[in-house]
Amino acid sequence: MHHRFLFTVLVTLLLSPMPAPAQARGGPPAATDRKLPPKPKPVGAWWHTGEAAPPMQDGHPDLTGVWFGGASGDLSKATLPGQEMVLTPYGKQRYDTVDHATDPNTRCLPPGPARMIMMAHPAMIVQRPDLVTILTESQRTFRLIYTDGRGHPEDVYDYPEWMGSSIGHWERDTLVVDTVSINDRTWLDTSGHEHSDKLKMTERFRLADRNTLEHVVTYDDPVFFVKPFTTRRLLKRQIGDRILDHSCLENEKDLQNLVPTLGDAGR
């Protein structure tokens, strides 16, 4: 009798339907089955790492990305052959006696269009068909380059800007930018080359390869330079889609300690 009872219980258990797992009943999965949601694949031109051709935008190479080319140093050392910087007597006198304690960057003023991508901070380019923006990590400043066919405002020289007025157009794979009305308080480099309010910059941005941005600039300022001169610098693509926060005057204590440092003594 005892054996028959055990046999009946065993058969009943084997034939009874097993309870459905929590997930099948519509409940949450068991703790051991839970997984983190998959990370989205990185997208966007700034994630490009040279594994494929850079994306195109409106028929032009997309320059969007985070770029870094190092600090400006002495701009005269980056000139192309036959395009050397030649200072006017006034320009030479200003350069020989420049006071590095008055460097606008040291005083946390905007760096100007030339210097903003020649700093010890990366810069992000964001491109769209009608506008290209350059955002620098240094003081979180920005520059606007209009590519929608407009020209400079009629009163452009009445209102100089730290970044100037920039108008761009495409010549095949190269973005050509014309910039005028640049505030003459900016410097062209860390070495102390200054400029007047007559400075005109013509820039050419081109992808030299998938991860290298070529930046060729012609500077034309008859007050400081005998003739226009042209420089060439290369910027390397940085992986990621962020630039960090930077505030130059945050808790700054050193400005009161700066003393005049003239000419070569500050280089």
Query: DSSP characters for 48-91?
Result: --SSSPPPEETTEE---EEEE------GGGGBPTT----B-HHH
Average pLDDT of the chain is 84
| Pair 194, 221: CB distance under 8 Å | no
- Residue 265's pLDDT is 84
pLDDT tens digits, one per residue of 214-231: 999 999 999 999 999 999
pLDDT tens digits, one per residue of 79-115: 999 999 999 999 999 999 999 988 988 888 888 998 9
Which residues of the chain are modeled with pLDDT < 70?
Answer: 1-52, 249-252
CA distance 103 to 256: 14
Sequence-distant (≥ 6) Cβ neighbours of residue 202 within 8 angstroms: 176, 177, 178, 179, 217, 218, 220
What's the alpha-carbon Rg for the chain, to the nearest Å? 30
